[in-house]
Chain A
Amino acid sequence: MDVKDGQTVKGTNFVNLRHAGDPVELGKAYSEQGADELVFLDITASHEGRKTFTDMVTRVAATVNIPFSVGGGIGELKDVDRLLNAGADKVSVNSAALRNPGLIDEITSHFGSQVCIVAIDAHQDEQGQWTCYLNGGRIPTDRSLFEWAHEAQERGAGEILFTSMNHDGVKAGFANEALRRLSDSLSIPIIASGGAGCKEHFRDTFIEGHSDAALAASVFHFGEIPIPELKQYLKSEGINVRL
Protein backbone atom coordinates (compact mmCIF):
# COMPACT_ATOMS: atom_id res chain seq x y z
CA MET A 1 0.00 0.00 0.00
CA ASP A 2 1.39 3.35 -1.06
CA VAL A 3 0.26 5.90 1.52
CA LYS A 4 -0.01 9.63 0.95
CA ASP A 5 -1.48 11.94 3.62
CA GLY A 6 -2.99 8.93 5.39
CA GLN A 7 -4.65 7.48 2.26
CA THR A 8 -3.73 4.48 0.12
CA VAL A 9 -2.84 5.27 -3.45
CA LYS A 10 -1.40 3.22 -6.29
CA GLY A 11 0.57 4.50 -9.21
CA THR A 12 0.61 3.13 -12.70
CA ASN A 13 4.18 3.13 -13.98
CA PHE A 14 5.00 5.35 -10.97
CA VAL A 15 3.02 8.33 -12.26
CA ASN A 16 -0.79 8.50 -12.02
CA LEU A 17 -2.16 8.05 -8.51
CA ARG A 18 -5.62 6.73 -7.73
CA HIS A 19 -7.18 6.52 -4.27
CA ALA A 20 -7.76 3.10 -2.78
CA GLY A 21 -8.95 3.67 0.75
CA ASP A 22 -7.91 3.87 4.38
CA PRO A 23 -4.65 1.92 4.88
CA VAL A 24 -5.57 0.60 8.33
CA GLU A 25 -8.97 -0.71 7.23
CA LEU A 26 -7.51 -2.07 4.03
CA GLY A 27 -4.67 -3.76 5.94
CA LYS A 28 -7.11 -5.40 8.31
CA ALA A 29 -9.26 -6.62 5.44
CA TYR A 30 -6.23 -8.08 3.67
CA SER A 31 -5.00 -9.89 6.77
CA GLU A 32 -8.47 -11.39 7.25
CA GLN A 33 -8.49 -12.49 3.60
CA GLY A 34 -5.22 -14.35 4.09
CA ALA A 35 -2.45 -11.94 3.04
CA ASP A 36 0.79 -13.16 4.60
CA GLU A 37 2.45 -9.82 5.04
CA LEU A 38 1.63 -6.16 4.45
CA VAL A 39 3.86 -3.41 3.09
CA PHE A 40 3.12 0.27 3.73
CA LEU A 41 5.10 2.80 1.76
CA ASP A 42 5.05 6.46 2.78
CA ILE A 43 5.10 8.53 -0.39
CA THR A 44 4.52 11.82 1.42
CA ALA A 45 7.58 14.02 1.35
CA SER A 46 6.58 16.59 3.96
CA HIS A 47 7.41 16.60 7.66
CA GLU A 48 3.70 16.68 8.65
CA GLY A 49 3.10 13.74 6.35
CA ARG A 50 5.75 11.78 8.21
CA LYS A 51 3.95 12.35 11.51
CA THR A 52 0.65 11.22 9.93
CA PHE A 53 2.38 8.08 8.65
CA THR A 54 3.88 7.23 12.05
CA ASP A 55 0.42 7.57 13.64
CA MET A 56 -0.92 5.25 10.95
CA VAL A 57 1.82 2.69 11.75
CA THR A 58 0.71 2.75 15.40
CA ARG A 59 -2.89 2.12 14.35
CA VAL A 60 -1.87 -0.70 11.99
CA ALA A 61 0.15 -2.38 14.76
CA ALA A 62 -2.86 -2.22 17.08
CA THR A 63 -5.24 -3.60 14.46
CA VAL A 64 -3.43 -6.15 12.32
CA ASN A 65 -2.24 -9.57 13.52
CA ILE A 66 0.24 -10.41 10.75
CA PRO A 67 3.71 -8.97 10.06
CA PHE A 68 4.04 -5.68 8.23
CA SER A 69 6.86 -3.57 6.91
CA VAL A 70 7.06 0.15 6.36
CA GLY A 71 9.18 2.23 4.06
CA GLY A 72 9.50 5.61 2.46
CA GLY A 73 11.21 8.61 3.97
CA ILE A 74 13.73 6.58 5.96
CA GLY A 75 16.97 8.51 5.86
CA GLU A 76 18.71 7.68 9.10
CA LEU A 77 18.72 5.32 12.06
CA LYS A 78 16.37 7.46 14.13
CA ASP A 79 13.65 7.08 11.47
CA VAL A 80 13.99 3.30 11.80
CA ASP A 81 13.83 3.55 15.57
CA ARG A 82 10.68 5.71 15.35
CA LEU A 83 8.88 3.28 13.00
CA LEU A 84 9.87 0.13 14.91
CA ASN A 85 8.75 1.79 18.13
CA ALA A 86 5.42 2.59 16.48
CA GLY A 87 5.04 -1.19 16.00
CA ALA A 88 6.36 -1.97 12.53
CA ASP A 89 8.05 -5.39 12.21
CA LYS A 90 10.41 -4.41 9.42
CA VAL A 91 11.53 -1.34 7.54
CA SER A 92 12.42 -1.03 3.88
CA VAL A 93 15.11 1.35 2.74
CA ASN A 94 15.58 2.41 -0.86
CA SER A 95 17.09 5.73 -2.01
CA ALA A 96 18.74 6.49 1.34
CA ALA A 97 20.61 3.19 1.21
CA LEU A 98 21.77 3.82 -2.37
CA ARG A 99 23.05 7.26 -1.32
CA ASN A 100 24.53 5.97 1.93
CA PRO A 101 25.02 2.19 1.83
CA GLY A 102 26.40 2.25 5.40
CA LEU A 103 22.82 2.83 6.56
CA ILE A 104 22.15 -0.89 5.97
CA ASP A 105 25.05 -1.85 8.28
CA GLU A 106 23.80 0.61 10.90
CA ILE A 107 20.22 -0.70 10.82
CA THR A 108 21.20 -4.36 10.91
CA SER A 109 23.80 -3.97 13.66
CA HIS A 110 21.26 -2.13 15.85
CA PHE A 111 18.11 -4.08 15.12
CA GLY A 112 19.17 -7.29 13.32
CA SER A 113 19.03 -8.35 9.66
CA GLN A 114 15.44 -9.51 9.99
CA VAL A 115 14.11 -5.92 10.22
CA CYS A 116 15.94 -4.60 7.16
CA ILE A 117 14.45 -4.94 3.69
CA VAL A 118 16.42 -3.27 0.93
CA ALA A 119 13.96 -2.12 -1.73
CA ILE A 120 15.34 -1.64 -5.21
CA ASP A 121 13.63 0.09 -8.13
CA ALA A 122 15.42 -0.84 -11.33
CA HIS A 123 14.91 -0.35 -15.03
CA GLN A 124 16.17 -2.52 -17.87
CA ASP A 125 17.48 -0.67 -20.93
CA GLU A 126 17.40 -1.87 -24.53
CA GLN A 127 20.82 -3.47 -24.15
CA GLY A 128 19.39 -5.56 -21.32
CA GLN A 129 21.24 -3.75 -18.52
CA TRP A 130 19.42 -3.28 -15.23
CA THR A 131 20.05 0.09 -13.54
CA CYS A 132 18.94 1.19 -10.04
CA TYR A 133 16.86 4.35 -9.67
CA LEU A 134 16.40 6.83 -6.83
CA ASN A 135 13.32 8.66 -5.54
CA GLY A 136 10.60 6.26 -6.62
CA GLY A 137 12.05 5.71 -10.07
CA ARG A 138 12.77 9.33 -10.96
CA ILE A 139 16.57 9.56 -10.86
CA PRO A 140 18.89 7.02 -12.51
CA THR A 141 22.11 5.96 -10.76
CA ASP A 142 25.24 4.27 -12.05
CA ARG A 143 24.56 1.16 -9.95
CA SER A 144 23.61 -2.12 -11.56
CA LEU A 145 20.75 -4.06 -9.97
CA PHE A 146 22.77 -7.25 -9.39
CA GLU A 147 25.85 -5.53 -8.05
CA TRP A 148 23.79 -3.39 -5.64
CA ALA A 149 21.63 -6.31 -4.46
CA HIS A 150 24.79 -8.28 -3.72
CA GLU A 151 26.30 -5.40 -1.77
CA ALA A 152 23.06 -4.97 0.19
CA GLN A 153 23.22 -8.64 1.20
CA GLU A 154 26.88 -8.31 2.21
CA ARG A 155 25.98 -5.32 4.37
CA GLY A 156 23.38 -7.39 6.23
CA ALA A 157 20.05 -6.81 4.44
CA GLY A 158 17.50 -9.43 5.50
CA GLU A 159 15.45 -9.36 2.28
CA ILE A 160 15.47 -7.73 -1.15
CA LEU A 161 12.27 -6.20 -2.50
CA PHE A 162 12.86 -5.78 -6.23
CA THR A 163 10.48 -3.66 -8.31
CA SER A 164 10.97 -3.74 -12.05
CA MET A 165 10.04 -0.31 -13.43
CA ASN A 166 9.53 -1.92 -16.84
CA HIS A 167 6.89 -4.26 -15.43
CA ASP A 168 5.26 -2.13 -12.71
CA GLY A 169 1.67 -1.20 -13.55
CA VAL A 170 1.77 -3.01 -16.89
CA LYS A 171 0.06 -6.14 -15.51
CA ALA A 172 1.89 -8.47 -17.87
CA GLY A 173 3.77 -10.47 -15.23
CA PHE A 174 6.80 -10.04 -12.99
CA ALA A 175 10.42 -9.60 -14.18
CA ASN A 176 11.11 -13.29 -13.77
CA GLU A 177 14.42 -13.46 -15.58
CA ALA A 178 16.02 -10.82 -13.36
CA LEU A 179 14.28 -12.25 -10.27
CA ARG A 180 15.64 -15.70 -10.98
CA ARG A 181 19.15 -14.33 -11.35
CA LEU A 182 18.79 -12.49 -8.02
CA SER A 183 17.29 -15.44 -6.20
CA ASP A 184 19.85 -17.93 -7.51
CA SER A 185 22.85 -15.75 -6.72
CA LEU A 186 21.82 -14.38 -3.31
CA SER A 187 21.19 -16.25 -0.08
CA ILE A 188 18.49 -13.90 1.29
CA PRO A 189 14.79 -13.95 0.34
CA ILE A 190 13.75 -12.06 -2.80
CA ILE A 191 10.33 -10.41 -2.95
CA ALA A 192 8.99 -9.89 -6.48
CA SER A 193 7.20 -6.61 -7.12
CA GLY A 194 5.69 -4.97 -10.16
CA GLY A 195 3.67 -6.54 -12.91
CA ALA A 196 0.98 -8.74 -11.32
CA GLY A 197 -2.11 -8.82 -13.51
CA CYS A 198 -3.56 -12.29 -13.08
CA LYS A 199 -3.17 -15.38 -10.89
CA GLU A 200 -0.85 -17.10 -13.35
CA HIS A 201 1.69 -14.28 -12.95
CA PHE A 202 2.06 -15.19 -9.28
CA ARG A 203 2.60 -18.85 -10.11
CA ASP A 204 5.15 -17.92 -12.76
CA THR A 205 7.21 -15.76 -10.43
CA PHE A 206 7.52 -18.59 -7.92
CA ILE A 207 8.26 -21.25 -10.52
CA GLU A 208 10.19 -19.34 -13.19
CA GLY A 209 11.43 -16.40 -11.14
CA HIS A 210 12.39 -18.49 -8.08
CA SER A 211 10.92 -15.66 -6.00
CA ASP A 212 10.46 -16.25 -2.28
CA ALA A 213 7.44 -13.95 -2.06
CA ALA A 214 5.32 -11.85 -4.37
CA LEU A 215 3.97 -8.37 -3.75
CA ALA A 216 1.04 -6.71 -5.48
CA ALA A 217 -1.18 -3.71 -4.85
CA SER A 218 -3.73 -2.61 -7.44
CA VAL A 219 -4.98 -6.09 -8.40
CA PHE A 220 -5.93 -6.47 -4.73
CA HIS A 221 -7.06 -2.88 -4.11
CA PHE A 222 -9.53 -2.97 -6.98
CA GLY A 223 -10.67 -6.50 -6.24
CA GLU A 224 -9.39 -7.90 -9.52
CA ILE A 225 -7.81 -10.89 -7.77
CA PRO A 226 -9.36 -11.98 -4.46
CA ILE A 227 -6.57 -13.19 -2.13
CA PRO A 228 -8.33 -16.44 -1.00
CA GLU A 229 -8.89 -17.41 -4.64
CA LEU A 230 -5.27 -16.62 -5.52
CA LYS A 231 -3.92 -18.74 -2.67
CA GLN A 232 -6.20 -21.67 -3.50
CA TYR A 233 -4.99 -21.46 -7.08
CA LEU A 234 -1.31 -21.37 -6.05
CA LYS A 235 -1.82 -24.37 -3.81
CA SER A 236 -3.47 -26.28 -6.65
CA GLU A 237 -0.41 -25.45 -8.76
CA GLY A 238 1.79 -27.13 -6.17
CA ILE A 239 3.15 -23.96 -4.55
CA ASN A 240 3.55 -24.02 -0.80
CA VAL A 241 1.19 -21.35 0.58
CA ARG A 242 -0.56 -20.77 3.88
CA LEU A 243 -4.33 -21.24 3.57
Chain B
Amino acid sequence: MKVAIVKYNAGNIYSVIHALNRLGVNPILTDDAAELRAADKVLFPGQGEARQAMGYLREHGLDEVIRSLQQPVLGICIGQQLMCRHSEEGDTDCLGIFPVDVKRFCPQRHEDKVPHMGWNQVKMGNGEFFKREASQSAERTMENGQWKMDNGLFSGVNDGDYVYFVHSYYVPLCAETIATTDYILPYSAALHKDNFYATQFHPEKSGAVGERILENFLKL
Protein backbone atom coordinates (compact mmCIF):
# COMPACT_ATOMS: atom_id res chain seq x y z
CA MET B 1 0.00 0.00 0.00
CA LYS B 2 1.27 3.45 -0.92
CA VAL B 3 0.71 6.01 1.80
CA ALA B 4 1.68 9.64 1.25
CA ILE B 5 2.01 12.44 3.78
CA VAL B 6 1.53 15.98 2.48
CA LYS B 7 4.81 17.86 2.82
CA TYR B 8 4.35 21.51 3.76
CA ASN B 9 5.50 24.05 6.33
CA ALA B 10 3.63 22.72 9.36
CA GLY B 11 5.83 20.91 11.87
CA ASN B 12 6.01 17.66 13.73
CA ILE B 13 5.06 15.07 11.13
CA TYR B 14 7.75 12.74 12.52
CA SER B 15 5.40 11.21 15.05
CA VAL B 16 2.91 10.42 12.29
CA ILE B 17 5.65 8.71 10.28
CA HIS B 18 6.75 6.73 13.35
CA ALA B 19 3.16 5.72 14.13
CA LEU B 20 2.66 4.45 10.57
CA ASN B 21 5.97 2.59 10.76
CA ARG B 22 4.71 0.83 13.89
CA LEU B 23 1.72 -0.32 11.82
CA GLY B 24 4.10 -1.71 9.21
CA VAL B 25 3.62 1.10 6.69
CA ASN B 26 6.46 3.16 5.26
CA PRO B 27 4.90 6.43 4.09
CA ILE B 28 6.40 8.88 1.62
CA LEU B 29 6.60 12.56 2.49
CA THR B 30 5.90 14.57 -0.63
CA ASP B 31 4.56 17.83 -2.09
CA ASP B 32 4.48 16.39 -5.60
CA ALA B 33 0.97 16.41 -7.10
CA ALA B 34 1.47 13.20 -9.12
CA GLU B 35 2.83 11.29 -6.10
CA LEU B 36 -0.04 12.48 -3.89
CA ARG B 37 -2.64 11.53 -6.51
CA ALA B 38 -1.05 8.09 -7.00
CA ALA B 39 -1.08 7.18 -3.29
CA ASP B 40 -3.68 4.77 -1.88
CA LYS B 41 -4.06 6.92 1.23
CA VAL B 42 -3.05 10.48 1.97
CA LEU B 43 -2.39 11.96 5.40
CA PHE B 44 -2.47 15.70 5.99
CA PRO B 45 -1.09 16.20 9.52
CA GLY B 46 0.77 19.03 11.17
CA GLN B 47 1.04 21.65 13.82
CA GLY B 48 1.32 25.24 12.81
CA GLU B 49 -0.37 28.51 12.10
CA ALA B 50 -3.28 28.57 9.64
CA ARG B 51 -2.40 31.66 7.62
CA GLN B 52 1.21 30.66 6.99
CA ALA B 53 0.21 27.09 6.24
CA MET B 54 -2.50 28.11 3.72
CA GLY B 55 -0.08 30.58 2.11
CA TYR B 56 2.42 27.79 1.60
CA LEU B 57 -0.20 25.37 0.24
CA ARG B 58 -1.46 27.96 -2.30
CA GLU B 59 2.03 28.96 -3.36
CA HIS B 60 2.83 25.33 -4.13
CA GLY B 61 -0.53 24.56 -5.77
CA LEU B 62 -1.23 22.01 -3.02
CA ASP B 63 -4.63 23.55 -2.18
CA GLU B 64 -6.06 22.41 -5.54
CA VAL B 65 -4.28 19.05 -5.29
CA ILE B 66 -5.71 18.24 -1.83
CA ARG B 67 -9.24 19.36 -2.77
CA SER B 68 -9.21 17.13 -5.87
CA LEU B 69 -7.92 13.94 -4.19
CA GLN B 70 -10.19 10.91 -4.70
CA GLN B 71 -8.66 8.38 -2.28
CA PRO B 72 -9.21 8.42 1.51
CA VAL B 73 -7.57 11.51 3.01
CA LEU B 74 -7.01 12.04 6.76
CA GLY B 75 -6.39 15.52 8.11
CA ILE B 76 -4.94 15.73 11.62
CA CYS B 77 -5.03 18.76 13.97
CA ILE B 78 -4.15 21.82 11.86
CA GLY B 79 -4.80 19.56 8.86
CA GLN B 80 -8.43 19.23 9.95
CA GLN B 81 -8.74 22.98 10.44
CA LEU B 82 -7.22 23.73 7.03
CA MET B 83 -9.78 21.42 5.42
CA CYS B 84 -12.58 23.70 6.70
CA ARG B 85 -13.92 26.83 5.00
CA HIS B 86 -12.34 29.57 7.05
CA SER B 87 -10.28 29.94 10.24
CA GLU B 88 -10.31 32.74 12.80
CA GLU B 89 -6.58 32.10 13.13
CA GLY B 90 -5.12 34.90 11.01
CA ASP B 91 -8.59 35.41 9.41
CA THR B 92 -7.68 32.76 6.85
CA ASP B 93 -9.67 31.31 3.96
CA CYS B 94 -8.99 27.58 3.98
CA LEU B 95 -9.59 24.61 1.64
CA GLY B 96 -13.38 24.55 2.02
CA ILE B 97 -13.72 20.75 1.97
CA PHE B 98 -15.87 20.87 5.12
CA PRO B 99 -18.42 23.74 5.01
CA VAL B 100 -17.71 25.00 8.54
CA ASP B 101 -15.65 27.85 10.03
CA VAL B 102 -12.89 27.32 12.63
CA LYS B 103 -13.22 29.39 15.83
CA ARG B 104 -10.88 30.30 18.67
CA PHE B 105 -11.65 28.91 22.14
CA CYS B 106 -13.07 31.57 24.49
CA PRO B 107 -12.27 30.55 28.09
CA GLN B 108 -15.32 30.89 30.38
CA ARG B 109 -13.74 29.96 33.72
CA HIS B 110 -10.25 29.87 35.28
CA GLU B 111 -10.06 26.13 34.61
CA ASP B 112 -10.53 26.69 30.88
CA LYS B 113 -6.91 26.71 29.79
CA VAL B 114 -6.04 27.48 26.17
CA PRO B 115 -4.47 25.69 24.33
CA HIS B 116 -6.59 22.66 25.12
CA MET B 117 -3.72 20.29 25.79
CA GLY B 118 -3.92 16.74 27.01
CA TRP B 119 -6.13 13.66 27.02
CA ASN B 120 -9.86 14.03 26.60
CA GLN B 121 -12.82 11.82 25.78
CA VAL B 122 -14.47 11.43 22.39
CA LYS B 123 -18.16 10.79 21.97
CA MET B 124 -19.48 9.17 18.84
CA GLY B 125 -21.87 10.98 16.54
CA ASN B 126 -22.46 14.71 16.34
CA GLY B 127 -23.81 15.48 19.77
CA GLU B 128 -26.16 18.41 20.19
CA PHE B 129 -26.15 19.04 16.48
CA PHE B 130 -27.46 15.53 15.99
CA LYS B 131 -30.58 16.37 17.99
CA ARG B 132 -31.29 19.31 15.74
CA GLU B 133 -30.45 17.58 12.47
CA ALA B 134 -32.00 14.15 12.69
CA SER B 135 -31.04 13.49 9.07
CA GLN B 136 -27.44 12.87 10.14
CA SER B 137 -28.18 9.60 11.92
CA ALA B 138 -26.68 7.46 9.18
CA GLU B 139 -23.31 7.02 10.86
CA ARG B 140 -24.41 5.99 14.32
CA THR B 141 -27.02 3.64 15.67
CA MET B 142 -28.31 2.78 19.13
CA GLU B 143 -27.42 -0.72 20.20
CA ASN B 144 -28.23 -2.02 23.69
CA GLY B 145 -28.61 1.54 24.90
CA GLN B 146 -25.10 2.49 23.67
CA TRP B 147 -24.24 4.58 20.66
CA LYS B 148 -22.32 2.50 18.18
CA MET B 149 -20.20 4.07 15.50
CA ASP B 150 -20.80 2.84 11.98
CA ASN B 151 -18.14 5.09 10.49
CA GLY B 152 -15.10 3.02 9.52
CA LEU B 153 -12.64 5.46 11.04
CA PHE B 154 -13.89 4.79 14.58
CA SER B 155 -14.57 1.11 14.25
CA GLY B 156 -13.74 -0.58 17.56
CA VAL B 157 -13.40 2.73 19.38
CA ASN B 158 -15.76 3.17 22.34
CA ASP B 159 -17.80 6.14 23.38
CA GLY B 160 -15.74 7.86 26.06
CA ASP B 161 -12.31 6.60 24.97
CA TYR B 162 -9.47 9.06 25.55
CA VAL B 163 -7.38 10.67 22.82
CA TYR B 164 -4.69 13.35 22.89
CA PHE B 165 -5.34 16.99 21.92
CA VAL B 166 -3.20 20.11 21.47
CA HIS B 167 -5.09 23.08 19.98
CA SER B 168 -6.31 26.64 20.53
CA TYR B 169 -8.88 26.71 17.71
CA TYR B 170 -11.78 24.32 17.24
CA VAL B 171 -14.26 23.19 14.60
CA PRO B 172 -17.87 23.78 15.76
CA LEU B 173 -20.44 21.00 15.53
CA CYS B 174 -21.74 20.59 11.98
CA ALA B 175 -23.41 18.07 9.69
CA GLU B 176 -20.00 16.50 8.95
CA THR B 177 -19.17 15.92 12.64
CA ILE B 178 -18.68 12.20 13.37
CA ALA B 179 -17.25 12.50 16.90
CA THR B 180 -17.38 15.23 19.53
CA THR B 181 -15.33 16.31 22.51
CA ASP B 182 -16.46 18.62 25.29
CA TYR B 183 -13.89 21.24 26.29
CA ILE B 184 -15.30 24.68 27.15
CA LEU B 185 -18.06 23.64 24.74
CA PRO B 186 -18.91 20.56 22.66
CA TYR B 187 -17.02 20.72 19.35
CA SER B 188 -15.99 18.46 16.45
CA ALA B 189 -13.32 15.92 17.42
CA ALA B 190 -13.62 14.35 13.96
CA LEU B 191 -15.22 15.10 10.59
CA HIS B 192 -16.16 13.04 7.56
CA LYS B 193 -17.39 13.96 4.10
CA ASP B 194 -17.06 11.65 1.08
CA ASN B 195 -13.41 10.50 0.94
CA PHE B 196 -12.24 13.16 3.40
CA TYR B 197 -11.73 12.37 7.09
CA ALA B 198 -10.22 14.55 9.78
CA THR B 199 -9.46 14.48 13.50
CA GLN B 200 -8.71 17.40 15.79
CA PHE B 201 -6.81 15.07 18.13
CA HIS B 202 -3.51 13.36 17.38
CA PRO B 203 -4.14 9.64 16.74
CA GLU B 204 -0.37 9.20 16.44
CA LYS B 205 -0.03 10.23 20.10
CA SER B 206 -3.20 8.63 21.44
CA GLY B 207 -1.89 5.25 22.58
CA ALA B 208 -3.72 2.08 21.55
CA VAL B 209 -6.95 3.97 20.68
CA GLY B 210 -5.09 6.23 18.26
CA GLU B 211 -3.29 3.28 16.74
CA ARG B 212 -6.67 1.65 16.11
CA ILE B 213 -7.95 4.79 14.36
CA LEU B 214 -4.90 4.96 12.10
CA GLU B 215 -5.23 1.25 11.36
CA ASN B 216 -8.92 1.80 10.50
CA PHE B 217 -7.97 4.63 8.15
CA LEU B 218 -5.44 2.45 6.35
CA LYS B 219 -8.21 -0.15 5.83
CA LEU B 220 -10.74 2.30 4.36
Q: Does B206 contact A (CB under 8 A)?
A: yes
Whether the Cβ atoms of A188 and B110 lie closer than 8 Å is no
Interface string of B116-142 (1 = CB under 8 A from A): 011100000000000000000000000
The number of chain A residues with a CB under 8 A from chain B is: 25
**Which of under 10, 10 to 19, 20 to 34, or 35 or more describes the interface residues of B?**
20 to 34
Contact A67/B164 with A87-B15, A87-B18 known, Cβ cut-off 8 Å: yes
Whether the Cβ atoms of A187 and B117 lie closer than 8 Å is no
Q: How far is the CB of A54 from chain B (nearest CB, A)?
A: 13
Q: Does B205 contact A (CB under 8 A)?
A: yes
Q: Does B11 contact A (CB under 8 A)?
A: yes
Q: How far is the CB of A160 from chain B (nearest CB, A)?
A: 11
Closest to A86 in B: B14
Q: Within residues 20 to 65 of chain A, which ones have a CB less than 8 A from any CB in chain B? A: 31, 36, 61-62, 65
Using Cβ atoms and an 8 Å threshold, which residues of chain A touch B195? Answer: none
Closest to A111 in B: B11
Using Cβ atoms and an 8 Å threshold, which residues of chain A touch B156? Answer: none
Whether the Cβ atoms of B117 and A159 lie closer than 8 Å is yes
Which of A62, A85, A113 is in CB contact (< 8 Å) with B21?
A62
Whether the Cβ atoms of B164 and A158 lie closer than 8 Å is no
A interface, by DSSP: helix, strand, loop or mixed?
loop
Q: How far is the CB of A157 from chain B (nearest CB, A)?
A: 12
Contact A65/B205 with A87-B14, A87-B18 known, Cβ cut-off 8 Å: yes
From B34-42, B66-74, B94-102, B207-215, give the one contacting chain A: B207-215
Q: Does A140 contact B (CB under 8 A)?
A: no
Whether the Cβ atoms of B110 and A187 lie closer than 8 Å is yes
Contact A65/B211 with A36-B119, A85-B14, A114-B117 known, Cβ cut-off 8 Å: yes
Name 16 extra pairs, CB < 8 A, besides A84-B11, A212-B113: A31-B207, A36-B119, A65-B207, A65-B208, A67-B164, A67-B202, A87-B14, A87-B18, A111-B11, A112-B47, A114-B115, A114-B117, A188-B113, A189-B113, A189-B117, A242-B162
